[in-house]
Structure 1
């Protein structure tokens, strides 16, 4: 489901780029290509309004789709990652082996050992 939304978002983003590039910043746009001024009786006169509505529509779709993708991923993806994280932790952490304390050397010589005099 997330893959479908991402593919749709990519297509809408490409269409949004095309619609923005088609628009004329001074209001002419496609309607000026067809002989358009306000004196034209028949033909395309309101392309600027259509392109503007398409721009806002594509933007709204991208906004809603990105937010819904995050929400879906957090609800569906968090359950899957939580289970796998627990399994990974169990598999990687080995139980601690009990270690015997290291033998300590006696501080003084035992009582029954002879001492060798120095020459």
Structure 2
């Protein structure tokens, strides 16, 4: 579905570009600089201009709707777009450290001094 919407977006973009290029210039733009302004006004047709303008608005709104649809549809399930995202998904979180227990010293290693508690003193009898 995501790929279908992307292909549909590309088609709408292509059609929008064709419709925009087919429109007659309204003057004041680059067309008047190159001398095409007068010829375009002579050959322009009012109904064709209205249709092309409506098509332009329709394709523009359709493009926005399709773009929002792909965002909503492919929110988290879309393809990974970054090398950093791929690396982050492949790495696992580090394991929690195991609780420490006193271990026996290795053979040949000096024994660690354990704190000793003093032996209880005999109490004098009265």
What's the TM-score bracket when you normalise by the shorter of the two chains? Answer: 0.5 to 0.7
RMSD in angstroms over aligned alpha carbons?
A: 3.5
- In the TM superposition, residue 105 of structure 1 has moved relative to its aligned partner by 6.8
| Residues 2-57 of structure 1: CA deviation (Å, up to 9, x unaligned) | 11111110111111112111212228xxxx78x746xxxxxx65111111111011
Matched residue, 1:94? 95
Residues 25 and 45 from structure 1, CA distance in 2 versus in 1: closer, same or farther, beyond 3 angstroms?
A: closer
Matched residue, 2:7? 7
Matched residue, 1:115? none
Q: Name the SS of the counterpart of 2:74 in structure 1.
A: helix
Query: In structure 2, what is the Cα distance between the partners aligned to 1:95 and 1:45?
Result: 74
Pairs aligned (count): 85
Query: In structure 1, what is the Cα distance between the partners aligned to 2:43 and 2:91?
Result: 71
Larger RCO (CA within 8 A; separation ≥ 6)? 2
TM-score, normalised relative to structure 1? 0.52
TM-score, normalised relative to structure 2? 0.50
Matched residue, 1:21? 21
Matched residue, 1:61? 62
- In the TM superposition, residue 93 of structure 1 has moved relative to its aligned partner by 2.5
